[in-house]
Structure 1
Amino acid sequence: MTEHHSSEKRRRVELLAPAGSMERLHAAVEAGADAVYLGLDDFNARRNADNFTIEALSEACDYAHLRGVAVYVTLNIEILPSEIGRAVDLAKRASQAGADAFIVQDLGLAARIREEVPQAELHISTQMNIHSVAGIQAAARLGASRVTLARELSFAQIKLLSAAAAQRGMVVETFAHGALCVCYSGQCLMSSLIGGRSANRGLCAQACRLPYELQSSDRASSLPAPGEHLLSPRDLCTAQIMPEMVASGTSSLKIEGRMKSATYVYAVVSVYRQILDRALAGEDVRPTEAQMNVLSEVFSRGFTAAYLTGERGNDLMSYGRPNNRGAFVGRVAGIEGGVVRIDSERTLHAGDVIEFWTKRGHFAHTLAEGSIGADGVVRVSPDQKVGKGDRVFRVRNAETAYEDDSLEPRLAVRGSVALRLGRPARVEFHLVPNQRAFERLAQVSPVLDMGSDELAAFASPAGLRGVAVGPTVEPARTRPLCRQDVRDHIDRLGQTPFAIEHMDIQLDEGVGMGFSLLHRLRSEALDSLRAQVLDLYAGNHRMLMQAVDALCPASGEVSVPLSQPRRRSRVDEPLVVAWATNPSCARAAKRAGAQLVYIPALNYKRGEAALAGVRCDDVEQAGYPKQKAMAFPAVDHDPVEGTREHALGIDVWGCAREGKTVLADGVGSLMRAQELGMSVEVGPHVPLTNIASLNLAQDWGIQRVWLSPDLTLGQIADVAEGSSVPLGITVAGYTELMITEHCLLMSQGPCDQRCGSCRRRSVEHHLGDRKGFSFPVVTDALGRSHLYNGVELDIAFAIPDLLQIGVGAFMVDTTLLSKDEAHAAVSRVVRAVRMARETGTAIEKKRGATTGHLFRGVT
């Protein structure tokens, strides 16, 4: 099978597909993907996928590059101290194997790849939580050529960020289809703290797909909800809004699913290829019912356009079930003698997997041969009870199962054979221009929007010729060759990636030649063409990177190698600080001995203080102590029309003051604070977990790094020894597990989204799980929810060790504490510091508290 399409000039938008294995890579390319993303054996956010070895990556790159398809390697996890060297080495070897780009979350790894693997593109992962113009600026500072945007953005925001990226020679990538995380990517600690597997390390335990109950302090029973999966979103689907996707300015549409089957990859990419091509041609195309059925059957929790169209309420969520629901087939029409008759609205096949939705739950059944009568009626004998009227869904369609062929899609070539008496035999092949792979090869990157002058520098596949020259052609001694002989033996392309579309044969009468020689000439010519195509791809990619470097050069601020240890000063004066969301706790912390209090900028707004996670009545800003610093949030959207910031008229930066110390909890907030001339500390929501990251922070002028809760004591010692930037750590309070754009309080019913006066926020809320654990829910003035661990953190007893290894600042998070609890918690940490300094002894650990990852680490 070869592929042809119109070569009409049009805006290029990349279709980016998942490739969790070699079979899924073949499926993606055969279905029409422009690029694929895949992981290696380590350092990627889907470590449970089959993934690729370096040897397999080389084979994968050759397969993809021959067809003009780019290969992006995911290194999109937090990199721990002992891993940074291996991660950089892996990137170097992957680049040598043919990787076109690296998708990276870790700031330090991003900077080192840009510095040490300059021939590869640097793409910023959605795990870095980029959702603002300031975040785009941070990515440009790293020298990235692309940013994968957060999923929580609207079309208006994507348009804004796409324009901001273009001004810096970059492009943006947007998720188009697949699973949605309820939490902002890169901000989830729930999986690791309660499941022992870190979502930020590629081993998400899917805690968001488990059942929960919403509970409140003013009710004895749980609150009503449409289902029990209160953290489980539907799946993203943009097939019905493709013209809007194209118009948003995004340069790449990403399909999620490295853990899903080859059938899923082939089906989803095929549908999106058809729809995207028509949208790019200017057609206001909407998917057919058949196309939507294909998407539903391969995997669906129910579909949503999510935040793209401004949806953030219950229509976003799949409260009823957290897994595949498939496509509706019909209902149980009758039951006779254990035989169930189904009135099916679809054509079913033997091998299909259907699922019965009964009052007692769901169960699957595979249709056997003979289940479907000549009249089309389906009769089965399931091993569980069903009732008349029960719904039936198909979750696997046997007819659409993908069958792997590693040679597809083949490249169309035109052949020329010259067998003229007295002249050397000659076989030549060249690519047919009117095919998708030809255009991809001509430009290599389908997303870089360069003018004609830049594109003219790229070599064209039109000039490639695979030529083989043999011995002088002689007259036949026995039977001469005929044209059909030549055609039959040259056209045996078998195990090659090529297919002959047309063959020109110049054959003198009476020519004699052995078939084995024809075979050898054919093979040599095709091998030559294959090598030239791969060389052209590599050469064009090098020129592409030169163009990228000219448009978005890496920051020149890094003067010392990021891996070189910096000298650490001894901690002379430890600092005890508090995080307070209301004046009462802030003043209590000061009285208890806190030298500084960090106030979240959103809570500093008049009327937005929160005590023990509950919104307070109107509070004067003057109630906060003078020794305070503003803290800017991990989520900070530009106030574009349609955002919560715009709708509610809230600007957290209204309290920003030049020269003041602030804590920035996101890379975007970091950039904006520095632009405004503030002295910036970085919060734990920006995970700096290795020496390269800490040294980058120092080179960027960061005054203090508040360490990620993912680090163990030993790992903290490693990074502290190698970096001289001042370090702090949260030692007491309750750990934030998730930040969600969707308000978790909405499960009890819709609201008017006037969050500043919301009565629900005036009551304590928790999510309760099946094991009896409770997770406090705090919703802020912008309607975003913050989910906390229900078990208090206490590592104050480890302060002697932390001081010894170079940590000099200790924070108490009072978000969920009362005024008296805040005073007691800060007093305890002040005492722990005093004991450590004066006698070298440790305070006793609190009973029932957790030490987080300080001793058990993350996987």
Structure 2
Amino acid sequence: MAAPCPKNVELLAPAGNMECLHAAVKAGADAVYLGAGHFNARRGADNFSLENLAEACDYAHLRGVKIYLTLNTVVLPSELPDALELARQAYRCGVDAFIVQDIGISIELSRIMPDVEVHVSTQMNIHDEDGLRAAAALGATRVTLARELSLAEIARLHELAEELGVELESFAHGALCICYSGQCFMSSLVGGRSANRGRCAQACRLPYELHNRALRKTLDAPGEHLLSPKDLCTANLIPELLHAGVASLKIEGRMKSPESVQAVVGVYRAVIDRVEAAIDRDGIDSVVASDAPELRASEEEMNVLSEAFSRGFTTAYLKGKRGNEIMSYGRPNNRGVFVGRVAKVREGLVFIDPETELHVGDLIEFWTNRGHFVHTIGEFKTDRAGRVFFPVERAVGKGDRVFRVRNAEAAFVDDDKLPSVAVCARAELRIGQPALLTFTVAAGDASVTVEGPEVEAARTKAITEKEVREHIDRMGTTPFYLSSLEIDLDEGVGMGFSMLHKLRARAAEELQEAILAHYHARKLERTPSRAFAPVVRRGWCKVAALATNPACARAAKRAGADLIYVPAANYRRGEAVIAGQLSDTAEQAGYPKQCIPVLPTVSQMFDEEKRNGFDTWKRVKADKPVMVENLGQLLHATEMGAAPEVGPHIPVTNKLDLQAMADLGAQRVWLSPELSLVQIEELGDMAPMPLGLTIMGQTELMVTEHCLLMSQGPCNQKCAECARRKSPHYLKDRKGYEMPVITDCTGRSHLYNAVQMDVAHLMPEIIGAGVSTVLVDTTLMNVKETTEKVARAVRARDIAQKDGNKVAKAEGATSGHLFRGVS
């Protein structure tokens, strides 16, 4: 039996600055998420200082809106004190929750601030039941789920979430990442800015070509933006999301304008209110089954969303689809709302048959056969046929399409000084008794009563009820307005208007203090320092190899590799399938003995494994090593009694992360490719377990739920037997770099760096930094290349540990981030 859906879903809005916060609150957001400092995933937004963060919290809390602070980046060793201090100061400012990616910081915040909620960011890549259990074990009260989940998968997770006491949050609107969040190295290795540090370079929005290497040809595609998804829009899926158990609907957009925030939040507020009213009236099952138009966004509302920002809309993976319908191959930026077509061009004037009203100041875009260009409408006229015409500097042709990308009439006016909190008031003016004025928040619990001097009988003119009402209702610059006023007035009362003004001012001031008292009274109690596990002793450095087929695994072993790692899927799928072989163990598949399984970055969802005839955990044995690539796998492996090694897709970048991994049972940690040598050395000095580092191979840049090979056209979705997978493919960028693409047996694509990494010449420094295992990734190597690279790594290790000497630097290879790091 499915768990009941949340009674009232939260509408969570973005704010990149104070003006956007005002827009979100004004439009009806229940909560707002924002960033402060450098530890948030939108460092390009204006963001908030500690000074205006306190102001933002007060502004929101007075209006019954919660504030969530994003700390959703990885935190480097030297930054840890600053990140924790920011959290402490934000706590004093009054934030209601922290949205966190860093595992160690998540645990630490729950420890030192137990009364503040910790929400797990989508950057933590929680997408299955094991991940949900792990998030709860960290102390999370809410999990922002991966965008790649379907409604059915969310509903199944909700059943477990109810047992764990964890809320589920799902993205409802805005930009989609093509890569699983928190798993993208493309931005840093190709664009020079790390998405995991809040500085995404948007490399996925650039043009690419898909090539078949075997056929030596460029493959046709519907456009050139092969990594660019459409924008998510669930305005027509609100009943289904609530039925699935989503507690919070999140709108993406901390880089968006106040106008965009206000427009999108306003539409979702209206749709949610209609849906929840229908649920209260008819029940959730009836609402989900209904096709009543008021339960979906209207055409007008969809136009508002499109005008706010749109690359074209999709429900993404929520309906269980992951094909070309989610992609915006032709355009990576805002396309706006269709206005009409060019009817004619005459003497420098463009005539348009408009399908929507245009305004002076609108920004429109012409789609011509020579490309696209934008134009701001100045003065325009309308002819007898209803066609709008105005001069345009550039050439357009009859039939060209016109879109509006900014509506001048939708400009946001920041009138935050206007009162917006409804108050119920009661005035008691009884002769011989103190004057009393009570203010109660209409939609809350806060209430105050202020007392004035004793009420006297009038000596001349008595005050009237109308005058009392008029003077108490003058709320001025306070955030309050009177929704009702009850007056208990004796006949013949004498009172000056100034006394009413003082009572009203005191009541407003004290009500404001009462609403904020809980937040302003916050103090951080001193918590004892954590005890950290002892630093592990460094021993002889081992050479490991990651091999995806038996031949390369055997070659690596012969070349001197001490350890062989094999993706778990390749024991039964991958290369073995192409050869028509099915094997259950590494040895049966032709791999050497005692290979260590590597679990997939994205765990198989629920029944997907059964459909593909593959069981991830069949390869994991008690007391045997296994490399895990997400948090849920780590918890599961530890519970099985295995010896888990944390892979590089789980970011371990500071002391708290290292301790968290030790507490969760990690026997080795493989470090992120975004760490510099200096940062690795900082971790090596404090690591309670051995550290590993990939030193050769082509780094995986992305893992995508959408199969990148589908740009060629639709397929039969039988991924394990897919003929396209047999041929090697690559994406070619504008500079001519060729990035290999491999789609696995589940249909997920893996994109690799165009340039080989080889840092074997830095072996003395790497070992000196505390690394005790180095890995050669042979995923894209043949047997000959595998033999040469593993032998080079063994030789580099041997001479480095014998006398500190180095092998020569490999020509044409990159050192990744070992020297430059990421900012």
Q: Are 2:620 and 1:628 equivalent residues in the alignment?
A: no
Give 5+ residue unaligned stretches, structure 2: 280-286
Which residue of the partner structure matches residue 797 of structure 1?
Answer: 761
Which amino acid letter does the alignment assign opposite residue 688 of structure 1?
V
Are the aligned partners of 2:432 and 2:455 in contact in 1 as well (CA < 8 Å)? Answer: yes
Which residue of the partner structure matches residue 390 of structure 1?
Answer: 400
Which residue of the partner structure matches residue 248 of structure 1?
Answer: 244
Equivalent residue in structure 1 for 2:468, among 467, 486, 490: 486
Q: Report which stretch shifted further, 333-342 or 23-32.
A: 23-32
Are the aligned partners of 1:429 and 1:529 in contact in 2 as well (CA < 8 Å)? Answer: yes
- List per-residue Cα deviations over 1:516-554 (Å, max 9, x = no partner): 332221110111122222236789x99xxxxxxxxxxxx
Equivalent residue in structure 1 for 2:167, among 140, 164, 171: 171
Which amino acid letter does the alignment assign opposite residue 146 of structure 1?
R
Which amino acid letter does the alignment assign opposite residue 414 of structure 1?
C
Are the aligned partners of 1:349 and 1:372 in contact in 2 as well (CA < 8 Å)? Answer: no
Alpha-carbon shift at residue 68 of structure 1 (Å): 1.7
Are the aligned partners of 1:607 and 1:617 in contact in 2 as well (CA < 8 Å)? Answer: no
SS of 1:308's partner is coil
1:70–1:500 Cα change, 3 Å:
same
Distance in 2 between residues matched to 1:501 and 1:638, nearest whole Å: 51
- List per-residue Cα deviations over 1:803-849 (Å, max 9, x = no partner): 12321000000001010000100000000010011111111111111
Which residue of the partner structure matches residue 303 of structure 2?
Answer: 293
Alpha-carbon shift at residue 639 of structure 1 (Å): 2.4
1:538–1:11 Cα change, 3 Å:
farther
Are the aligned partners of 2:571 and 2:589 in contact in 1 as well (CA < 8 Å)? Answer: no
Which residue of the partner structure matches residue 576 of structure 1?
Answer: 543
Q: Are 2:9 and 1:13 equivalent residues in the alignment?
A: yes
1:204-283 correspondence to structure 2 within 5 Å: 204-280=200-276, 281-282=278-279, 283=287
SS of 1:158's partner is helix
Q: Are 2:440 and 1:430 equivalent residues in the alignment?
A: yes
Greater RCO (CA < 8 Å, at least 6 residues apart) = 1
Which residue of the partner structure matches residue 454 of structure 1?
Answer: none
Q: Are 2:186 and 1:190 equivalent residues in the alignment?
A: yes
Are the aligned partners of 1:465 and 1:529 in contact in 2 as well (CA < 8 Å)? Answer: yes
Which residue of the partner structure matches residue 399 of structure 1?
Answer: 409
1:796–1:409 Cα change, 3 Å:
farther
SS of 1:597's partner is strand
Alpha-carbon shift at residue 697 of structure 1 (Å): 0.9
1:561–1:508 Cα change, 3 Å:
closer
Q: Are 2:315 and 1:348 equivalent residues in the alignment?
A: no
Which residue of the partner structure matches residue 454 of structure 2?
Answer: 472
Are the aligned partners of 2:184 and 2:701 in contact in 1 as well (CA < 8 Å)? Answer: yes
- List per-residue Cα deviations over 1:450-471 (Å, max 9, x = no partner): xxxxxxxxxxx1xx43222222
Equivalent residue in structure 2 for 1:674, among 638, 645, 652: 638
Which residue of the partner structure matches residue 38 of structure 1?
Answer: 34
Are the aligned partners of 1:698 and 1:725 in contact in 2 as well (CA < 8 Å)? Answer: yes
Distance in 2 between residues matched to 1:622 and 1:310, nearest whole Å: 33
- List per-residue Cα deviations over 1:264-288 (Å, max 9, x = no partner): 1111111111212222232441221
SS of 2:669's partner is strand
1:647–1:293 Cα change, 3 Å:
farther
Alpha-carbon shift at residue 369 of structure 1 (Å): 3.2
Q: Are 2:739 and 1:762 equivalent residues in the alignment?
A: no
1:689–1:755 Cα change, 3 Å:
same
Alpha-carbon shift at residue 121 of structure 1 (Å): 0.4
Which residue of the partner structure matches residue 414 of structure 1?
Answer: 424
Which amino acid letter does the alignment assign opposite residue 441 of structure 2?
L
Distance in 2 between residues matched to 1:569 and 1:54, nearest whole Å: 39
Q: Are 2:648 and 1:688 equivalent residues in the alignment?
A: no
Q: Are 2:818 and 1:857 equivalent residues in the alignment?
A: no
Which residue of the partner structure matches residue 447 of structure 1?
Answer: none
Q: Report which stretch shifted further, 477-486 or 383-392.
A: 477-486
Distance in 1 between residues matched to 2:651 and 2:528, nearest whole Å: 21
Are the aligned partners of 1:65 and 1:537 in contact in 2 as well (CA < 8 Å)? Answer: no
Which residue of the partner structure matches residue 600 of structure 1?
Answer: 567
TM-score by length of 2: 0.94
Q: Report which stretch shifted further, 811-820 or 475-484.
A: 475-484
Which residue of the partner structure matches residue 74 of structure 1?
Answer: 70
Alpha-carbon shift at residue 485 of structure 1 (Å): 3.0
Alpha-carbon shift at residue 419 of structure 1 (Å): 3.5
Are the aligned partners of 1:634 and 1:669 in contact in 2 as well (CA < 8 Å)? Answer: no
Which amino acid letter does the alignment assign opposite residue 517 of structure 2?
D
Which amino acid letter does the alignment assign opposite residue 584 of structure 1?
A
Which amino acid letter does the alignment assign opposite residue 634 of structure 1?
T
Equivalent residue in structure 2 for 1:330, among 334, 340, 343: 340
Q: Are 2:494 and 1:503 equivalent residues in the alignment?
A: no
Distance in 2 between residues matched to 1:393 and 1:248, nearest whole Å: 36
Distance in 2 between residues matched to 1:267 and 1:851, nearest whole Å: 46
1:640-651 correspondence to structure 2 within 5 Å: 640=607, 643=608, 645-651=609-615
Which residue of the partner structure matches residue 284 of structure 2?
Answer: none
TM-score by length of 1: 0.90
Equivalent residue in structure 2 for 1:92, among 78, 88, 91: 88
Which amino acid letter does the alignment assign opposite residue 506 of structure 2?
E
Are the aligned partners of 2:419 and 2:481 in contact in 1 as well (CA < 8 Å)? Answer: no
1:442-841 correspondence to structure 2 within 5 Å: 461=445, 464-474=446-456, 480-508=462-490, 511-535=493-517, 566-606=533-573, 608-609=575-576, 618=581, 621-640=588-607, 643=608, 645-841=609-805
Alpha-carbon shift at residue 414 of structure 1 (Å): 2.3
Give 5+ residue unaligned stretches, structure 1: 1-8, 433-437, 442-460, 543-558
Which amino acid letter does the alignment assign opposite residue 267 of structure 2?
V
Which residue of the partner structure matches residue 552 of structure 1?
Answer: none
Q: Report which stretch shifted further, 121-130 or 408-417.
A: 408-417
Distance in 2 between residues matched to 1:416 and 1:355, nearest whole Å: 56
Q: Report which stretch shifted further, 232-241 or 486-495.
A: 486-495
Which residue of the partner structure matches residue 283 of structure 2?
Answer: none
- List per-residue Cα deviations over 1:156-199 (Å, max 9, x = no partner): 11011111121111111111111000000000011111111100
Distance in 2 between residues matched to 1:581 and 1:598, nearest whole Å: 8
Q: Report which stretch shifted further, 78-87 or 399-408.
A: 399-408
Alpha-carbon shift at residue 409 of structure 1 (Å): 6.6
SS of 1:722's partner is coil
1:172–1:408 Cα change, 3 Å:
farther
Which residue of the partner structure matches residue 435 of structure 1?
Answer: none
Q: Report which stretch shifted further, 290-299 or 486-495.
A: 486-495
Which amino acid letter does the alignment assign opposite residue 470 of structure 1?
G
- List per-residue Cα deviations over 1:290-347 (Å, max 9, x = no partner): 1111111111111111111012111110000000111111100011111000001112
Distance in 1 between residues matched to 2:146 and 2:430, nearest whole Å: 63
Which amino acid letter does the alignment assign opposite residue 159 of structure 2?
A
Aligned pair count reads 799
Which residue of the partner structure matches residue 370 of structure 1?
Answer: 380
1:824–1:402 Cα change, 3 Å:
same
SS of 2:218's partner is coil
Distance in 1 between residues matched to 2:771 and 2:10, nearest whole Å: 46
SS of 1:821's partner is helix
Which amino acid letter does the alignment assign opposite residue 660 of structure 1?
K
SS of 2:751's partner is strand
Q: Are 2:349 and 1:339 equivalent residues in the alignment?
A: yes
Q: Report which stretch shifted further, 201-210 or 670-679.
A: 670-679
